Amino acid sequence: MTQSTIEIYVDADACPVKDEVMRVADRHDLPVHMVSNSWMRLDDNPLINRVIVSEGPDEADNWIAERITDRDIAITADIPLASRCIERGASVLGPGGKPFTQDSIGMALAMRDLKQHLRETGEISGHNPSFTRQNRSDFLNQLENMVQAIKRR
């Protein structure tokens, strides 16, 4: 059974776009599950469901993947979690504004594994590019587009 309201699930521990998520959620009156392994400072917005899971490498991922539906949106940079959410039919958006889709997730997983191997062998260092204002703008636009697309279904 599908739910009638879109819900947003945020892999919140290292998420740099929590404020942007809340801007879109407020505009559309959508509940947001901020899922993390530890307490975090968040607004007292009634749309926020603060979820603190037990310590463990995949506890937040498991909580999200077990609950997300095909009318929901996941916000995560974690590619294996993105894959699990796509399998459940959810829309998935990375914090930089890049959507993960059924067509792109296989390549994303392969690139993740390749980069991990190259880091382990010392071929590359583990630095990620800096997060820019353009990333925030791209994220806001993509999230708004995802919400609109789900509402049209």
Q: Cα–Cα distances in Å, from 38 out to 14, 43, 54, 105, 137?
A: 11, 16, 8, 28, 28
Residue 2: the pLDDT is 41
Query: Tokens 């009318």 — which residue?
Result: 71
Residue 115: the pLDDT is 66
List the domain boundaries for the chain. Answer: 8-101+132-152
Residues contacting residue 9 through CB under 8 Å, at least 6 positions apart: 32, 33, 35, 64, 67, 68, 72, 73, 74, 75, 85, 90
Amino acid at 97: G
Identify the segments of the chain with pLDDT beneath 70: 1-4, 105-115, 117-119, 126-129
pTM of the model: 0.85
Pick the CATH number of 8-101+132-152 from 3.30.70, 2.60.40, 2.10.260, 3.40.50: 3.40.50
Residue 78: both structure tokens together: 């974690």
Round the average pLDDT of the chain to a whole number and report it. 88
